[in-house]
């Protein structure tokens, strides 16, 4: 049986009582700012949310609260403004005795966290944003938003259908037909807000806009978004990442907006960003993007330079490759004399590692060729094996000097990343069944 933490109350501006809980362990203090609606006590009572809060509390001391108008907090007649949500964040931190913490803003909670981080950097150690946006509706200088009439139609759906699993096909399409999840989602919404409170909050979003404060954020920032998110288009997070200095942006596969669906996909990234390590379980077989690189004309170059100078050049090449692989959060499996084998948990990062490595080694007078494929690999101690490894090696062998080639699998997985490709035709890869379409990174 799950034992929920006690609910406390913090007094915020205007004598509003804000309900909050503290749970978890670790060296990181983390303030969790929920999205659309929330209820801190329901988090521990719904089967679909329990794995999320347990994992979040496994690496941080978490303060979670209900925004005014929601859950167990006071419910004034009007939805909270961004400034009022900032006041509530500060109130729960003061009540919990936390001077400085990481902020974790989800969806609608993201703009408030961004504003708080820009306004109170002395109280924010780092900022994590998931599935969020700087503005919702379109503007002359912001064409990626939704039209006001679309937002109004959504508010009318909430007015009409509240009590049931409202808009679950938009919030979490992968589980929208699961009866257990539908019942849990409907209960969570009802406990989070009234229909009038939810639709009023949605209508207030028309005026939400934090674009001007983004360049003022100076704390380390991680931005996460699923590429196919149907509720909050990924372009919003890309905009935020482009305008917060030094922000790290990680785009993940999937269509679900709700983080409680496959939470480890998100929390692996959050844990690593905040603690420097991740504790995801590793099976004997995992999905990975395999990168092979090779120095073009290495035999002739070695003969020209001689053994000593060639070895010095290869050592510099190996150091540079290890740096680029690790910088893009990959794992260097081994060096191959005149190349490397590495794996990545994201194909876009693998492509960018190959591109930057090719540019950097050119300064050494070396031309690289690179090949990538994403598939299941077998873990053998520090080494890997399997068909995906063979395909990656064969794709690399087709590349020309300075060229990064990928299989069609990789190309399909990075749709929406901004990476473009040129087709290089179909090829029979030695030892691999069938014809394989290959693409060059443009």
Q: How far apart are CA 267 and CA 273, in angstroms?
A: 10
Coil, helix or strand at residue 210: coil
Query: Residues near 378 by Cβ (< 8 Å), separated by ≥ 6?
Result: 284, 285, 384, 385, 386
- Residue 282's pLDDT is 45
DSSP symbol at 97? T
Residue linked to tokens 């890869």: 429
Please, how many CA atoms are within 13 Å of residue 368, restricted to the half-sphere of its CB?
28
Contact 270, 128 (CB under 8 A): yes
User: How many C-beta atoms lie closer than 10 Å to residue 34's C-beta?
Assistant: 23
DSSP symbol at 162? B
Q: How far apart are CA 240 and CA 227, in angstroms?
A: 15
Terminal Cα-to-Cα distance of the chain (whole angstroms): 54
Q: How far apart are CA 57 and CA 23, in angstroms?
A: 6
Q: How far apart are CA 325 and CA 331, in angstroms?
A: 6
Q: What are phi and psi of 384, to 5 degrees?
A: -135, 160
Burial class of residue 430, CB neighbours in 10 A (0-12, 13-18, 19+): exposed
User: How many C-beta atoms lie closer than 10 Å to residue 213's C-beta?
Assistant: 19
pLDDT in tens, the chain (442 residues): 457 899 999 999 878 999 999 999 888 999 999 988 899 999 988 878 888 998 999 999 999 999 999 999 999 988 888 999 999 999 999 999 999 999 999 999 999 999 999 999 999 999 999 999 999 999 999 999 889 898 889 889 988 999 999 999 999 998 888 888 888 889 999 999 998 888 888 888 888 899 999 999 999 999 999 999 988 999 999 999 999 999 999 999 999 999 998 898 999 999 999 999 866 454 578 899 999 999 998 888 888 888 888 888 999 999 999 999 999 999 999 988 889 999 999 999 999 999 999 999 988 889 999 999 999 898 877 888 888 998 999 999 999 999 999 999 999 999 888 999 999 999 988 767 778 999 999 8
Domains of the chain: 7-275 (3.40.50.1820), 285-441 (3.30.70.1230)
Task: Convert 25-68 into a string of H (helix), E (strand) and C (coil).
Answer: CCCCEEEEECCCCCCCCHHHCCCCCHHHHHHHCCCCEEEEECCC
Coil, helix or strand at residue 232: coil
Tokens coding 170: 């938009």
């Amino acid at each position: 049986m799950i034992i929920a933490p006690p609910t406390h109350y913090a007094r915020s501006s205007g004598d509003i009582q804000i309900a909050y809980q503290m749970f978890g362990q670790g060296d990181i203090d983390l303030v969790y700012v929920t999205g659309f609606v929330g209820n801190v006590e329901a988090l521990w009572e719904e089967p679909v949310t329990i794995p999320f809060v347990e994992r979040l509390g496994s690496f941080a001391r978490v303060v979670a609260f209900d925004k005014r108008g929601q859950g167990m907090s006071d419910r004034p007649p009007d939805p909270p403004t961004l400034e009022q949500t900032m006041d509530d964040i500060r109130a729960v931190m003061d009540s919990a005795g936390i001077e400085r913490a990481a902020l974790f803003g989800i969806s609608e909670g993201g703009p408030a966290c961004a504003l708080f981080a820009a306004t109170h950097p002395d109280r924010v150690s780092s900022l994590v944003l998931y599935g969020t946006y700087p503005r919702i509706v379109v503007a002359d200088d912001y064409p990626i938003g939704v039209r006001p009439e679309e937002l109004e139609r959504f508010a009318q759906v909430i007015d009409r259908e509240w009590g049931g699993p409202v808009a679950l096909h938009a919030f979490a399409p992968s589980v929208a037909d699961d009866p257990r999840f539908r019942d849990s989602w409907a209960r969570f919404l009802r406990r989070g807000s009234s229909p009038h409170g939810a639709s009023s909050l949605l209508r207030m979003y028309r005026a939400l806009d934090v674009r001007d404060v983004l360049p003022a954020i100076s704390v380390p920032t991680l931005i996460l978004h699923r590429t196919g998110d149907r509720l909050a288009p990924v372009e919003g997070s890309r905009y935020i990442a482009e305008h917060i200095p030094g922000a790290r942006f990680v785009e993940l596969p999937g269509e679900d907006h709700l983080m409680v669906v496959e939470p480890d996909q998100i929390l692996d990234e959050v844990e690593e960003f905040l603690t420097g390590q991740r504790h995801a379980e590793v099976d004997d077989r995992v999905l990975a993007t395999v990168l092979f690189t090779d120095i073009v004309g290495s035999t002739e170059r070695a003969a020209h330079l001689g053994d000593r100078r060639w070895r010095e050049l290869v050592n510099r090449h190996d150091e540079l490759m290890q740096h680029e692989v690790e910088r893009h959060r990959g794992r260097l499996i081994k060096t191959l004399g005149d190349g490397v084998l590495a794996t990545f948990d994201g194909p876009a990062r693998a492509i960018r590692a190959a591109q930057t490595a090719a540019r950097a080694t050119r300064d050494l007078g070396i031309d690289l060729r690179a090949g990538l494929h994403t598939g299941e690999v077998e873990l053998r101690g520090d080494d890997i094996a399997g068909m995906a490894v063979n395909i990656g090696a064969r794709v690399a062998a087709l590349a020309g000097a300075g060229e990064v080639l990928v299989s069609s699998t990789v190309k399909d997985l990075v749709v929406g990343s901004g990476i473009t490709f040129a087709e290089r035709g179909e090829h029979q890869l030695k030892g691999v069944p069938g014809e394989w379409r290959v693409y060059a990174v443009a």
